[in-house]
Chain A
Amino acid sequence: MRQITLPASLDQRASRALALELKDASDQGGTIILDGGEVRQVGLSGLQLLLSALRTRASGGADIQIVNASPSLKDSASLVGAFHDA
């Protein structure tokens, strides 16, 4: 299992780096835990990346889980209608 702490600012630049890390981690197999506790700001690119990660998992790909979502991350998730999931 690999744990990755999401950066405070999950903007386009951060999501470029994170996308590479996630692709690398998913190639290696095993569970990937994304800790969202420190996220303070999320851009569209970062949010798309997280949704893509979850979609990957839902479609039987790498087991990527997001835990400990910060309020900022939740707020951003609400912009894609995810506020009903508690």
Chain B
Amino acid sequence: MTPEEIQAVFLQECEEGLTNAEAALLAIRSGAFDAETINTIFRAVHSIKGGAGAFGFSALQFFTHHFETLLDKVRDGDVAIQPAVVDLLIAAFDMLTDHVAAVRGERGEPDHGAMIAALQDVLTTRRDSPAAAPAAPSGDTRVPDLAFDLDAMLGELTASAVAQEWEVSFAPAGADMRNGGDPLLLVQELIRLGGSIVRIDTDRLPPIDGFDPDQSYLSWVMRLPGALDRAAIAEVFDFVSDEARVDIQLQPVPDDATAAEEPVSLAQLQQEPQEVEVGGFPPASAIAPTPAPLAAKGAGPTIRVDLEKLDRLVNLVGELVITQSMLSQRLGSNAFTNVEEIALLDQLTRELQDSAMAIRAQPVKTVFSRIPRLVRELEATTGKRVRLEVDGEATELDKTVIERIGEPLTHLVRNCVDHGIEAPEVRAQAGKPAEGCLRLAAEHKGSRIVISVSDDGGGIDRARVRDVAVDRGIIAPDVKLSDEEIDQLIFAPGFSTARQVSNISGRGVGMDVVRQNVQALGGRISIRSEPGRGSSFALSLPLTLAIVDGMIVSVGDQSYIIPLTHVVESLRPAPGAVQRTGLGNRILNVRGTFLPVLAVGDLLGVDQAIEDPAQAVLIVVETERSGSAILMVDEIADQRQVVIKSLETHYRQVDGVAGATISGDGRVALILDVENLVGARVGGGGRQWAC
């Protein structure tokens, strides 16, 4: 390896070390840590110091030396872990991050004089906590083994705090629902007391044919804090019927909290859980802090590979998939159908493609790791208090997508803290905890990943949003808009409701850019907001930019791919169902909503496309900017994953076309850019008329 390559490896290791150290620091801040947590930070800083010395980064080496000295004392128990010390460690960490960025050439060297003085101050006043430094026996001048003492102390704390808790079993009876009674209120009351649902028994629940609305079929097992008085729990059930079953037992806390049974979910009761959109505003008990990683997880051996080599591999696999598809089609057209080896080759090719794509996948943790510092800075700037909860950071998606969602995500977080979460005094008046909650979550949903940024703030002030939109001429004063449509206005170019332009957000350019960036990735952004309870922004992103699930349609003598993410349904209209408007546009009434019908042949200038809608196939598509619309094609040929080839690389950008793919017969099929295709014809405001 050349010295430059070795240095690149060092910088990569710096990033990994910083990520681990930050997770450990946040664990310390939340109080969930052990001796290994501190070791994790120490190891990271120590490694960076070693590399900095080897490569002659003297400022970085100097700073890490002082940081490491304090960490060493904390590790040994010489310095007590008090809130002020934790804050200093986090501030020092932020400065270390700046130093590493300076080495990368991304910024100038930070001025660390004051920080080093602060680190040294703590060392000169160490052992200032009686709790962390038990008095040494009289006459014994040896330095006690404080690392051991710290472990023991933490163990005692843990043991005494969570030794026992109440387990409450509750099976209401049908009688409990009479006279306006509702057992769900009792479950809610237990949650309000600090309870969490451990298990719900739904076994007795019949299918709809045998359902009796007057019967109770469900039962709950819940856990409540052991510190509660049993009478307080029993009081909740004062008015349940004699037929109801209530059992309250004090139980030891399981050693392994993760061994607790997961609550049942609707997903277990349905085949396509994505159609029930629950989530967004889970109750407080459901968004309990995500357990912080206490120590670095043991990872398998790894090897660093140049990204260009990976991309070449992915491209070659893409070519292989296309060639395999062509081979299958050629054999099929020559009466070689149902060839077992071809089916096997098809399966192997798919697995190879999945494996190749997985190599490029990275956990979203690499993006999420920027957020804690951002939140700390926003707390300092706004005076608000924010508790950050992160979930699903191990969720993986393509490296390119990861690299490009950083900016939109950062802006959403800024927006949530600046506009969403209220100042502590405002929250107190609203009966909320002074500390706001910002939740960052990632999860797989079919072939996409959904990243959500939620806050428990005041929600979108729709009246104000509407007023501002009218003032700025974005909407007409008399236009009627639903809550969801008003929420969408914040994505309008130049829109801002900030009463004062701040350096955090409020310049009114951000949300528009956020949406553009997300759409450029083939993603969508949606909002849910409830006054007084908060807002949730969800980014739905493709797992990869290299393949797409597509519906293959034919128009005239051409084949096109419509990405499935846009497809809602397909239908064949009855003769005369598609009507013409005065402007020559065509519309169809789809279950009470008139949608514009756009002939793909007309849009792309294809000859010999079917003109009569009754003879064609209509595909209802959904777009972010323009709402729903209908694309008219001749017929649907197939539905499959296709490898995306850039049109720009080989030709040039074409409006309405997102890329191309090579179909099994060797012909090029264009992938439609549904968003722009519909937007260009229908317009950005959407054009749907409810009956």
> CB within 8 A of B184: which of A49, A76, A82?
A76
In B430-480, the 8 Å CB interface with A consists of 443, 445, 450, 452
Which of chain B's residues have a CB closer than 8 A to the CB of A43?
177, 182, 184
Whether B279 and A86, one on each chain, are in contact in the complex, defined by CB atoms closer than 8 angstroms, is yes
Interface centre among B269, B272, B282, B591 (most CB of A within 10 A): B269
Q: Is B159 an interface residue (CB 8 A)?
A: no
Whether B271 and A48, one on each chain, are in contact in the complex, defined by CB atoms closer than 8 angstroms, is no
Whether B277 and A48, one on each chain, are in contact in the complex, defined by CB atoms closer than 8 angstroms, is no
Whether B269 and A83, one on each chain, are in contact in the complex, defined by CB atoms closer than 8 angstroms, is no
Whether B443 and A80, one on each chain, are in contact in the complex, defined by CB atoms closer than 8 angstroms, is no
Q: How far is the CB of A14 from chain B (nearest CB, A)?
A: 9
Whether A61 and B277, one on each chain, are in contact in the complex, defined by CB atoms closer than 8 angstroms, is no
In A1-48, the 8 Å CB interface with B consists of 1, 3, 11-12, 15-16, 19, 22-23, 26, 42-45, 47-48
Interface centre among A19, A42, A67, A85 (most CB of B within 10 A): A85
Whether B450 and A86, one on each chain, are in contact in the complex, defined by CB atoms closer than 8 angstroms, is yes
Which of chain A's residues have a CB closer than 8 A to the CB of B280?
71, 74, 86
Whether A84 and B208, one on each chain, are in contact in the complex, defined by CB atoms closer than 8 angstroms, is no
User: Which one of B27-35, B199-207, B366-374, B502-510 is at the interface?
Assistant: B199-207
Whether B208 and A69, one on each chain, are in contact in the complex, defined by CB atoms closer than 8 angstroms, is no
Q: Is B382 an interface residue (CB 8 A)?
A: no
Whether B286 and A83, one on each chain, are in contact in the complex, defined by CB atoms closer than 8 angstroms, is yes
> CB within 8 A of B278: which of A1, A26, A59, A77?
A77
Which of chain A's residues have a CB closer than 8 A to the CB of B272?
65
In B144-185, the 8 Å CB interface with A consists of 172, 177, 182-184
> CB within 8 A of B211: which of A3, A52, A58, A66?
A52
* Smallest CB gap from A32: residue in B: B208
Whether A78 and B182, one on each chain, are in contact in the complex, defined by CB atoms closer than 8 angstroms, is no
Which of chain A's residues have a CB closer than 8 A to the CB of B277?
67-69, 74, 86
Whether A58 and B286, one on each chain, are in contact in the complex, defined by CB atoms closer than 8 angstroms, is no
A10 vs B69: C-alpha distance when bound (angstroms): 62
Please count how many residues in chain B sit with their CB below 8 Å of the partner chain's CB atoms.
Answer: 52
Whether A86 and B218, one on each chain, are in contact in the complex, defined by CB atoms closer than 8 angstroms, is no
Interface centre among B172, B286, B530 (most CB of A within 10 A): B286
Whether B275 and A67, one on each chain, are in contact in the complex, defined by CB atoms closer than 8 angstroms, is yes
Q: How far is the CB of B208 from chain A (nearest CB, A)?
A: 4
> CB within 8 A of B208: which of A61, A80, A81?
A61
Q: Is B281 an interface residue (CB 8 A)?
A: yes
Whether B218 and A80, one on each chain, are in contact in the complex, defined by CB atoms closer than 8 angstroms, is yes
A6 vs B188: C-alpha distance when bound (angstroms): 22
Q: How far is the CB of A55 from chain B (nearest CB, A)?
A: 5
Q: Is B273 an interface residue (CB 8 A)?
A: yes
A79 vs B355: C-alpha distance when bound (angstroms): 39
Q: Is B194 an interface residue (CB 8 A)?
A: no
A12 vs B483: C-alpha distance when bound (angstroms): 29
A72 vs B264: C-alpha distance when bound (angstroms): 19
Whether B279 and A83, one on each chain, are in contact in the complex, defined by CB atoms closer than 8 angstroms, is yes
Whether B197 and A62, one on each chain, are in contact in the complex, defined by CB atoms closer than 8 angstroms, is no
- Which B residues lie at the A interface, using CB under 8 A? 172, 177, 182-184, 187-188, 191, 197, 200, 202, 205-209, 211, 213-214, 216-218, 262-267, 269-273, 275-283, 286, 443, 445, 450, 452, 528, 530, 533, 538, 591
- Which A residues lie at the B interface, using CB under 8 A? 1, 3, 11-12, 15-16, 19, 22-23, 26, 42-45, 47-49, 51-59, 61-62, 64-69, 71, 73-86
